[in-house]
Amino acid sequence: MEALKQQEILTPPVLEDEREDLLVCENLKKVYPTPKGDYVVLDDLQLTIKKGEFVSIIGHSGCGKSTLLTMIAGLNDISGGHIYVESEPVRDAGPDRAVVFQSPSLLPWLTALQNVMIGVKQVFPHASKAQKEDICKYYLDRVGLGNDFHKKATALSQGMQQRVGIARAFALKPKVLLLDEPFGMLDSLTRGELQDVLLDVWQKEQITAVAITHDVDESIFLADRVIMMTSGPYAKIGDELIIPYERPRNRREVLEHPDYYDYRGYLINFLNH
């Protein structure tokens, strides 16, 4: 079919989203001082994400995608503007924002269960030991590690370690799930499997999710909306693309959808300019 025009792509046949705004970035700015003067990574960035929405953010390396994510997580200071989660300003890190990084960073001497338990103990201090274990086991089972609770992290493959990282994040019951290229270090087969795992758990939990990715196909498959960032310095939101596919999503059905390659081409065209 002929490529969709911009206005057609950006106005798919979906009802207006009446969900409340959960995450708001307002006039956001990030500046790093250098010997040659200030380097402005992000400038006047505006972003609003609805409750329960899954958003992918793409852009060239160095455009500030990960900087934006770590600022939302409270791990990177804000130079200007504001970030709000449910109207509360973000000032530092907190369990309401869970992060899954490219490397799961597990404690190697602990088991899968014990690695997930670290966060659960902090977030649910008044729960009984049995209740905390049930939470950990539930999410480990959801990501396909029901038979691996007591395996040391060192005995797990890279893909299995990332499954632990995903379970650990969901077990915190966060308001926002932040994913910083969580599958970037994995082979294509494992990557596809974990995308399915992530969507399966997310579908049940309906946590607001923000995923940074370089992979155009991944951004389309995962998200309700793909946010495109301009190249830095002074990066900001350049465009967005609504992905109207129904959920739960089937990979084959998504790939065979008549508009799939139009969406893909639209994103690639943005990145190439």
What digits encode the pLDDT tens for the residues 36-77? 999 999 999 999 999 999 999 999 888 899 999 999 999 999
The number of residues making up the chain comes to: 273
74-80's contacts with Cβ under 8 Å and 24+ in sequence apart are 75/99, 76/30, 78/28, 78/29, 78/30, 79/29, 79/30, 79/31, 80/27, 80/28, 80/29, 80/30, 80/31
Task: Give the model's pLDDT for residue 16.
Answer: 59
**What does each C-alpha distance from 185 to 123, 167, 170, 176, 208 come to in angstroms?**
29, 18, 21, 23, 24
Task: Give the model's pLDDT for residue 150.
Answer: 97
What digits encode the pLDDT tens for the residues 121-165? 999 999 999 999 999 999 999 999 999 999 999 999 999 999 999
pTM equals 0.91
Q: pLDDT band at 96, cuts 50/70/90?
A: very high
Task: Give the model's pLDDT for residue 137.
Answer: 97
